[in-house]
């Protein structure tokens, strides 16, 4: 009797184990299916989010367009002007669009594109000075030709590297700024917000800290003119690879538009 009872108990245990194994198998299949569903849903969600992200990016770009159409700028007085000039209007300064300026030099024309979205206060000042004739009949006083700093610097009517318009402009910079070939940027002293009228045109990649306002770019034909000046070298008056251009450069006129 005990043996029969043991057999029945064993049979019952085997049946229970078989049922549990079957249940585990079913659970495993369901879990796998659920994982597949989750993965598919995740892919769909990612694709949807990606599409939405594109829309969001567009919206963000549109958000840039949605920023204020104008800003206020500060142009505090700073010492005597190297050439008579008036500070530009400081209210309702546009942040939209670009402005073309052509520097006609004795070495050829250098067309520039100023970008208000990059630096509205700087562009506002530069355009105002150009319209006042401030850059006309002025020399580009500095050329650097060493590796890591290849720029032609202009905008000082005194030709000494110390002159300015009698006011300063605010820095408009960000940590991401780089200074590759074709960059148009403002020169300044070591102090913040010390830019004025001096600017530099980058003809070779230059390793500079992101402290100099980038406000536009130089056209390919303009870069060819600067390249020609650079090939002639500098006089080394500030040290090796840094001085006045050996081939003097004069901005005859600066024309807006």
The Cα 138–Cα 252 span in angstroms is 7
Residue 149 inside a domain? The answer is yes
Q: Report DSSP letters for 152-165, one per residue.
A: EEE--TTSSS----
Quote the pTM value. Answer: 0.75
Q: How large is the average pLDDT for residues 205-232? A: 97
User: Residue 80: which domain range?
Assistant: 70-256
Higher pLDDT pick, 164 / 23: 164
**What is the tally of structural domains in the chain?**
1
Lowest mean pLDDT among 27-36, 39-48, 56-65, 132-141: 39-48
CA distances from 94 to 186, 215, 216 (A): 19, 14, 15
How many percent of the chain have pLDDT more than 90?
Answer: 74
Report yes or no on 98 lying in a domain: yes
Q: 200: domain CATH number?
A: 2.40.100.10
Give the per-residue pLDDT at 66.
60
Q: Is the pLDDT of residue 47 over 50?
A: no
pLDDT score at 61: 33
């Amino acid at each position: 009797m005990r043996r029969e009872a043991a057999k029945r108990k064993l049979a019952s245990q085997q049946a229970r184990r078989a049922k549990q194994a079957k249940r585990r198998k079913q659970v495993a299949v369901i879990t796998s299916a659920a994982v597949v569903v989750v993965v598919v849903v995740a892919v769909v969600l990612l694709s949807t989010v990606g599409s939405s992200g594109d829309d969001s990016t567009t919206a963000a770009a549109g958000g840039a367009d949605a920023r204020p159409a104008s800003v206020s700028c500060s142009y505090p007085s700073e010492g005597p002007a190297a050439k008579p000039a008036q500070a530009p209007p400081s209210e309702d300064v546009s942040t939209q669009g670009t402005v073309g300026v052509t520097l006609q030099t004795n070495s050829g024309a250098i067309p520039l594109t100023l970008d208000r979205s990059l630096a509205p206060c700087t562009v506002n000042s530069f355009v105002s000075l150009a319209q006042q004739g401030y850059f006309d009949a002025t020399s580009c006083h500095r050329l650097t030709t060493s590796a890591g700093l290849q720029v032609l610097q202009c905008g000082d009517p005194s030709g000494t590297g110390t002159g300015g318009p009698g006011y300063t402009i605010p820095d408009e910079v960000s940590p991401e700024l780089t200074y590759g070939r074709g960059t148009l940027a403002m020169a300044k002293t070591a102090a913040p917000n010390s830019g004025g009228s001096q600017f530099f045109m980058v003809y070779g990649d230059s390793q500079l800290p992101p402290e100099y306002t980038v406000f536009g770019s130089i056209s390919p034909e303009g870069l060819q003119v600067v390249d020609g000046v650079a090939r002639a070298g500098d006089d080394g008056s500030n040290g090796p690879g840094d001085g006045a251009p050996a081939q003097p450069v004069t901005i005859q006129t600066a024309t807006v538009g």
